[in-house]
Amino acid sequence: MRISELSTRSGVSTASIKFYAREGLLPAGERTGYNQTDYSEAHLRRLRLIRSLIDVGGLPVAAAARVLASIDAPDHPLEQVLSTAQSALPQPVSPPSPASVRRAEEFVAGRGWRAGPQNPGLRILAGVLDAWAAVGREDLASVLPEYARAADVIAEADLDAVSTAVEGARTGGDRAAAAQTVVVGTVLGDQLLVGLRRIAQENASARRYRPTEGNPS
């Protein structure tokens, strides 16, 4: 198809398509004549993946490029695509305090969690501990055990999806599709959780403060 059709079907402007091709996120189309380039269904699928990572996942273009490169690398173990996707996600700007990093590590160890010092979650957790301390609300750490319990539930669901994808690729499935599952799941999983948390909060709030439907406050 021509770039105009690719643009219509993907909802991505031709200027953006050319930009993604120039930046290496989208493979170049096939030149079929003077000033004419042909794009395939694979280009359309790739473009939709790019938009998912950037629009819904909120990744900067450079981070999306790193994630896509990890999908493309043929010798990249699928299990490692997960940590590559994790590292490509936006990280806290300012480094957390050493005291909070230590507290985060102690919390992780206390739960019996196995996680290396490079895990980006440690820095994020330490940053939140710093923020609580900065506003004098260390008492908010009371939510930590329940949040951690929820994180375990989510991680198991994530790993189930990854395992299914890895198993599918081993038994002759599409490796790119498997890697895509991991990446899309990792990037969009954060957003999914943010969305469900909002809904569950309103639900929990409605049940506590307006226990019966016919009794508006």
Q: Which of residues 9-38 bind a second copy (CB under 8 A)?
A: none
Among 63, 71, 130, 179, the residue binding a second copy under the rule CB under 8 A is: 130
What span, in angstroms and rounded, lies between the C-alpha atoms of 154 and 163? 14
Q: Which is nearer to a second copy, 24 or 121 (CB)?
A: 121
What span, in angstroms and rounded, lies between the C-alpha atoms of 198 and 193? 9
With binding defined as CB under 8 A, does residue 109 bind a second copy?
no
Q: Which stretch binds a second copy (CB under 8 A): 22-30, 32-40, 64-72, 193-201?
A: 193-201
Site for a second copy in 43-82 (CB under 8 A): 45, 48-49, 51-52, 55-58, 79, 82
With binding defined as CB under 8 A, does residue 206 bind a second copy?
yes
Residue 115 in 3-state DSSP? coil
What span, in angstroms and rounded, lies between the C-alpha atoms of 181 and 96? 31
Shortest CB 31 distance to a second copy, Å: 27
With binding defined as CB under 8 A, does residue 99 bind a second copy?
no
Q: Which stretch binds a second copy (CB under 8 A): 17-25, 32-40, 68-76, 186-194?
A: 186-194
The residues facing 36 across adjacent strands are: 33
Shortest CB 197 distance to a second copy, Å: 5
Shortest CB 38 distance to a second copy, Å: 22
Q: Which is nearer to a second copy, 29 or 185 (CB)?
A: 185
Tell me phi and psi for residue 181, to 5 degrees: -55, -45
Shortest CB 165 distance to a second copy, Å: 10
Q: Which is nearer to a second copy, 31 or 56 (CB)?
A: 56
Catalogue the E-assigned strands of 19-62: 30-33, 36-38
Query: Which tokens belong to 173?
Result: 């499935």
Q: Which is nearer to a second copy, 36 or 91 (CB)?
A: 91
Among 63, 84, 103, 123, the residue binding a second copy under the rule CB under 8 A is: 123
Q: Which stretch binds a second copy (CB under 8 A): 20-28, 32-40, 63-71, 160-168?
A: 160-168
What span, in angstroms and rounded, lies between the C-alpha atoms of 4 and 10? 10
Which among 85, 20, 15 has a CA at the least distance from the CA of 47?
Answer: 20
With binding defined as CB under 8 A, does residue 6 bind a second copy?
no
Residue 188 in 3-state DSSP? helix
Would you mind telling me the total number of residues written for the chain in this entry?
Answer: 217
What span, in angstroms and rounded, lies between the C-alpha atoms of 89 and 140? 26
Give the relative orientation of helices 61-72 and 78-88 as an angle to the nearest 10 degrees: 170
